[in-house]
């Protein structure tokens, strides 16, 4: 009896000894980190709060305070907060490249992390969204990409074979002409939503030189002329919706998915969200990359969101712990299963419930292509230059110039684009 009592007492003492200091330490050492995010179709607020709960359960020493901001104002709030130098969140989306200087250099963390590294992610997204000036400034969350979706019913009705993945820009124009049926108000395909995206880069066309010094010979170089001429030919088929049609019938500027689902657009350049819309609508469709130019590199307009740790955080270790959970395999898997996120991690993406479908496989293959963003991200003056040169696009789209006037039009715009480039380069410090 004495032994049992002694044993019981010792057990209690031991238990208290174990719980006491640890419990006190756990209470005292809980670190709260601020996380700013947005809610979207890919990750709802509910899903993100669920992720926080799961993280906190696995990491009792860290509490995550999630603030969901409206997507429309996120950029302004982050920019002004980072500019003020105080009050920024420990962890947040750093989707604007201008914020990268304010992001914590994660290189030592990644080097010390056995579970996370460049090989974890799709290479294109790691290059474009994680690395900046030889530093790792964030991790890429989710993937998105543009590709051409074709409506099988419209193709079948026209007796036209489906496009193959190795199709060319000329094939695209020929198919548009074949599939367009004005009597039934069916368009063969849509036009790109702007120059110097995938098809322009497939032609090898860039608005200015890689060193950001020269417009002449690039904006109006043979590659640019060829790509604009291709656009001219496409518009001339009469088989594409006009800018007015697309403005009205497009879907929030992301692509005319409603027209596509309704069978009024045989081919449309859409994205993975639209792909899910089409699946939900029961449309039979296929996916191919945007058409290539034989002999040239092939590009995809793809995107991912950089998530990062603010350089001014007082809790860098805990912030990285959460970041690597949120944007690592666990977090991206969780958001895939509880939302519509397509992970930027191939091993997680393979677990997508429809991964073995024809369309999903085609989408995954598109993600392996070279990315438009590789050039665009390294050239912050691109937007300014294109604004100066945008008239060429309008003139072709409105059918206001002849095919043989493309070169002259681009030549005439080059000086203004050069001036815009010079001003931008100087403003950004050369």
For binding to another protein (CB under 8 A), which residues are involved? 76, 79-80, 82-83, 98-99, 101-102, 242-245, 247-248, 383-384, 387-388, 390-391, 394-395, 397-398, 400, 416, 419, 423, 427-428
With 0-12 / 13-18 / 19 or more C-beta atoms within 10 angstroms meaning exposed / middle / buried, residue 241 is buried
Residue partners of 89: CB distance under 8 A and separation at least 6: 34, 35, 36, 67, 81, 310
Closest residue by Cα to residue 63 from 313, 318, 332: 318
Can you name the residues that pair with 189 across neighbouring β-strands? 267
Kindly state the smallest distance separating residue 36's Cβ from another protein, in Å. Answer: 16
Cα–Cα distance, 412 to 409 (Å, whole number):
5
Pick the closer one to another protein by CB: 1 or 84. 84
Pick the closer one to another protein by CB: 132 or 167. 132
Kindly state the smallest distance separating residue 295's Cβ from another protein, in Å. Answer: 34
Closest residue by Cα to residue 309 from 118, 57, 64: 64
**Scanning the structure block, which residue is given the tokens 């001429």?**
229
Kindly state the smallest distance separating residue 101's Cβ from another protein, in Å. Answer: 7
Kindly state the smallest distance separating residue 318's Cβ from another protein, in Å. Answer: 25
Kindly state the smallest distance separating residue 398's Cβ from another protein, in Å. Answer: 6
Pick the closer one to another protein by CB: 245 or 337. 245
Pick the closer one to another protein by CB: 113 or 391. 391
Tokens at 289, concatenated: 């990359």
Could you tell me if 34 and 67 are in contact, meaning their C-beta atoms sit under 8 angstroms apart?
A: yes
Kindly state the smallest distance separating residue 239's Cβ from another protein, in Å. Answer: 15
Pick the closer one to another protein by CB: 85 or 159. 85
- Helix %, strand %, coil % of the chain (to 5): 50, 15, 35
Pick the closer one to another protein by CB: 193 or 365. 193
Chain CA centroid to CA 304, Å? 3
Cα–Cα distance, 216 to 231 (Å, whole number):
21
């Amino acid at each position: 009896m004495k032994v049992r009592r002694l044993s019981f007492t010792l057990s209690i003492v031991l238990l208290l000894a174990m719980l006491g200091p640890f419990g006190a330490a756990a209470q005292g050492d809980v670190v709260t980190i601020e996380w700013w995010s947005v809610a979207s179709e890919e990750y709802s607020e509910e899903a993100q709060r669920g992720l926080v709960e799961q993280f906190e359960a696995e990491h009792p020493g860290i509490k995550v305070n999630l603030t969901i901001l409206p997507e429309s104002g996120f950029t302004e709030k982050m920019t002004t907060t980072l500019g003020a130098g105080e009050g920024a969140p420990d962890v947040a989306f750093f989707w604007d490249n201008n914020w990268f200087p304010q992001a914590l250099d994660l290189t030592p963390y990644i080097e010390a992390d056995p579970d996370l590294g460049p090989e974890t992610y799709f290479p294109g997204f790691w290059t474009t969204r994680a690395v900046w000036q030889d530093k790792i400034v964030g991790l890429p969350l989710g993937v998105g990409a543009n590709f051409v979706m074709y409506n099988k019913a419209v193709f079948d009705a026209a007796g036209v074979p489906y496009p193959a993945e190795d199709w060319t820009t000329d094939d695209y124009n020929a198919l548009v002409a074949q599939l367009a049926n004005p009597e039934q108000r069916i368009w063969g395909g849509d036009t790109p939503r702007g120059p110097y995206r995938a098809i322009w880069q497939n032609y090898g066309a860039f608005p200015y030189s890689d060193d950001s010094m020269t417009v002449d010979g690039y904006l109006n170089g043979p590659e640019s002329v060829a790509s604009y001429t291709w656009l001219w030919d496409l518009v001339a088929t009469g088989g594409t919706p006009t800018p007015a049609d697309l403005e009205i019938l497009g879907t929030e500027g992301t692509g005319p998915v409603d027209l596509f689902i309704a069978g009024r657009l045989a081919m449309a350049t859409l994205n993975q969200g639209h792909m899910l819309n089409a699946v939900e609508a029961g449309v039979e469709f296929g996916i191919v990359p945007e058409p290539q130019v034989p002999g040239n590199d092939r590009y995809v307009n793809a995107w991912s969101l950089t998530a990062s740790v603010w350089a001014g955080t007082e809790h860098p270790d805990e912030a990285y712990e959460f970041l690597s959970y949120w944007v690592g395999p666990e977090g991206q898997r969780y958001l895939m299963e509880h939302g519509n996120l397509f992970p930027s991690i191939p091993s997680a993406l393979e677990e997508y419930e429809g991964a073995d479908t024809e369309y999903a496989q085609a989408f995954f293959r598109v993600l392996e292509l070279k990315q438009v963003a590789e050039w665009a991200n390294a050239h912050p003056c691109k937007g300014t230059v294109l604004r100066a040169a945008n008239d060429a696009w309008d003139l072709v789209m409105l059918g206001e110039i002849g095919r043989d006037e493309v070169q002259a039009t681009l030549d005439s715009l080059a000086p203004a684009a050069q001036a815009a480039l010079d001003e931008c380069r100087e403003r950004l410090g050369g």
